[in-house]
Structure 1
Amino acid sequence: MALTLLDAALLVMVLIWGSNFSVVKVALRDFPEVPFNAMRLLVGSIVFMGALWWNRDTKSQEAPLTRTDWWQLLFLGLVGTFLYQLCFVGGVRRTSVANGSLIVGISPIMIALLSAWAGHERIKPVRWVGVCLALGGLYLIVGHGAELSSQTLYGDALMMSGVLCWAVYSVASQPILKRHSALTVIGLTFTLGAVIYGVAMIPVLVTVDWSSISPQSWGLMLASALLALNLSYFIWYTGLKKLGGSRTSIYSYLTPVVAMAVAAIWLSEPVSANQVAGAGVVFAGLLITRFGS
């Protein structure tokens, strides 16, 4: 099976998400966590709703949304936007890039297990070989550098909770993706989740000193919203719709590779020989899982 345009798009998504760890860490130096997240979600919602309006003629050709569809969209927005983003940004702030990327790298395993349990996909044995190989490479990359201390324990717990939310979100969205376009599903679920976040965080948002936030951090917030949320979420959902959960999520194994490389360059975190070797093992596991027959 040849490399497709969708494969290339998923690799771009990985580059963005891997870089986003460092982007968020730098921005949070003077951009408080809750308003940072709120602004990202606001920007993301505006862009997604604008895209839905722009494509309204195409959307009119889809089947109308039923009451059941709206309840499903609300659930997906609660889990995949509100809870996931709450856990992700909180986790990135409180743990290291090594810890965070290792935990996020487990998401393909959780998605594959949930997808198989839900009966959405039958995972072939050769692909499980690729999954295990990539997980081993992931340990080589960040396992030796991961910090396990009381200072990062809370952040690690938040990241793990976020991975669980992301797995549920990815698997639970597959039935509705069979009836509606990726843009419709992601646009509406994202906006619903953003509204929930904004309403829940009003007591915090009204106390923020917005003038203390630097222009650089505003720019990083905007880049994180447009690239890590809008563009990458759309690519992710397109992958789920066309490839399924297990074959799309395997690309997440490359996220720690990018995360460690960007952190080394931007945040001066060291890169070891184990991490370089692990990157090659991860890539081999990705190829087996993506193209294994």
Structure 2
Amino acid sequence: MSSSSAPFSTRDLASALAVVLIWGTNFVAMKIGLRDLTPFQLGAARYLFAVLPLILVVRPPKLPVKWIVAYGLCQGVGQFGLLFLSLKVGMSASLASVILQTQVFFTALFGFVLLRERASRALKGGLLLAAVGLVCFGMNYVEPGHAGGTTAGGFVLTLMAAAMWAASNIVVRRAQQATPEFDVVGFMVWCSLVPILPFIGLSLAFDDPATRWHWTGAPWTTWAAIAYLGWMATILGYAMWTRLLKRHPVNRVAPFSLGVPVVGISAGMLLLGDVVTGWQWAGIALIVLSLMCTMFGGRWLDRRG
């Protein structure tokens, strides 16, 4: 049976729900790790844990090194470096899980500019809803004391992290176009090597010298958070997601990603005591609605037509 017609098996459904749970709760793990580590230290530790088991058995992908370096810098240093900074300076785990989803729209914008891709009516509607949602988030910073435990700096850094995620998506598309037999697993593993040295260099350059060896005395919860980020969120999560994309069309797998912000908000509120303001709830609703419009709007418009 072809992948386009194969139904979701119980195993596939369990894998999809597991990925949603892992990726939704990994924002809580980031917050826990940042209690004892700086953002740059956490970045280096995450990717060290991610590559150490697999780099010994997974062969390098057969494609130009420039794509590996570009993706490692955009996704590793760019996306997660900025995300860790945002969580450190003033962004809650709950809202980070939602705002980061704007990468869908940054990807569309970069695709239009760099790859000459056309924007559908559904995507244009989603972009409009997302823009209004971001305005709602921004309203929290108009009046001091009503930011819901976040800062304007944290909000901007999270948006920048989403933009870097989008840039890494463009790199993957270009790498796939240039490589007939694109090995996703090998690509992800070897790209994870790239951010380690830059993160170490950034830590040496900008972190307080007193914190450089602080990780040696970190509690077990910090190490558990690092292991969760490296092994569960990076290796297991991407492996299961990639398997689903190989077995089923993207339009049947992608909607599960809508569950990530739902889990992220719930986990942040229950485990970390995150507080969500009225404006933020409005922004969350609009961002989720914009994603639904982008994913399902095209089919709805086609049926009406």
The answer to whether TM tops 0.5 is yes
Query: What CA deviation, in whole Å up to 9, does each residue of 1:221-245 have, x standing for no partner?
Result: 111211222233445667888867x
**1:288 and 2:296 aligned:** yes
The match for 1:52 is 58
- Distance (whole Å) between structure 2 residues aligned to residue 184 and residue 278 of structure 1: 37
CA 1:270–1:43 in 2, change beyond 3 Å: closer, same or farther? Answer: same
Write the distance in 1 (CA, Å) between the matches of 2:17 and 2:290: 13
1:224 aligned partner, one-letter code:
L
TM-score (norm 2): 0.71
Q: What per-residue deviation string (whole Å, max 9, x for no partner) do you get for residues 142-187 of structure 1?
A: 8499566697222223222211111111112112124221112212
Q: Judging changes above 3 Å, is the alpha-carbon distance between structure 1 residues 119 and 235 closer, same or farther for their aligned structure 2 residues?
A: farther
Aligned with residue 29 of structure 2, among 23, 40, 43: 23
Relative to structure 1, the CA distance from residue 270 to residue 75 in structure 2 (aligned partners, 3 Å threshold; closer, same or farther) is closer
1:183 maps to what in 2? Answer: 185
Shift of 1:128: 4.3
Give the AA of the match of 1:83: G
**Residue 228 of structure 2: aligned partner:** 223
Report how many residues are paired.
279
The 5 A counterparts of 1:209-220 are 209-220=214-225
Distance in 2 (CA, whole Å) between partners of 1:15 and 1:92 is 20
Specify the SS of the correspondent of 2:212: coil
Instruction: Look up the SS of the partner of 2:36 in the other structure.
Output: coil
Q: 1:85 aligns with which of 72, 75, 80?
A: 80
Give distance in 2, aligned partners of 1:17 and 1:146.
26
Q: Which residue, 105, 108, 111 being the options, matches 1:112?
A: 108
Residues 20 and 82 (structure 1 numbering): CA distance in 2 closer, same or farther, change over 3 Å? Answer: same
* Selected match of 2:47 from 17, 41, 48: 41
TM-score by length of 1: 0.74
- For 2:154, the equivalent position in structure 1 comes to 155
Cα pair distance change 1:10/1:169, threshold 3 Å: farther
Distance change in 2, residues 1:70/1:139 (3 Å): closer
- Identity rate of aligned residues, in percent? 17
Which string of whole-angstrom CA distances, capped at 9 and with x for unpartnered residues, describes residues 205-263 of structure 1? 8832234311111111111211222233445667888867x998776554332221111
Shift of 1:44: 0.8
What is the distance in 2 between the residues matched to 1:25 and 1:15?
A: 16
Distance 1:51 1:117, change over 3 A: farther
* C-alpha distance in structure 2 between counterparts of 1:17 and 1:45, whole Å: 18
Cα–Cα, structure 1 residues 167 and 251, in superposed 2: closer, same or farther, change >3 Å?
A: farther
Q: CA shift at 1:39, angstroms? A: 1.2
Letter in 1 for 2:184: A
Q: Residue 193 of structure 1: which of 188, 195, 200 is its match?
A: 195
Residues 187/260 of structure 1: CA separation in 2 closer, same or farther (3 Å cut): same
Q: Residues 18 and 35 from structure 1, CA distance in 2 versus in 1: closer, same or farther, beyond 3 angstroms?
A: same
Q: Which moved more, 1:86-95 or 1:274-283?
A: 274-283
Question: Which is helix-richer, 1 or 2?
Answer: 1
Task: Name the SS of the counterpart of 1:198 in structure 2.
Answer: helix
Contact 1:102 1:139 in 2 (8 A): no
Q: Return 273-282 or 44-53, whichever deviates more.
A: 273-282
Task: State the distance in 1 between where 2:85 and 2:222 align.
Answer: 17
Q: Which moved more, 1:259-268 or 1:271-280?
A: 271-280
8 A Cα contact 1:40 1:225, kept in partner: yes
Aligned counterpart, 2:285: 278
- One-letter amino acid matched to 2:237: S
DSSP 3-state at the match of 1:105: helix
Selected match of 2:263 from 237, 258, 262: 258
Alpha-carbon contact 2:70-2:171 (below 8 Å) kept = no
CA distance in 1, matches of 2:126, 2:291: 10
Describe the shift of the 1:74–1:248 C-alpha distance in structure 2 as closer, same or farther (beyond 3 A): farther
Structure 1 gaps, min length 5: none
Letter in 1 for 2:172: S
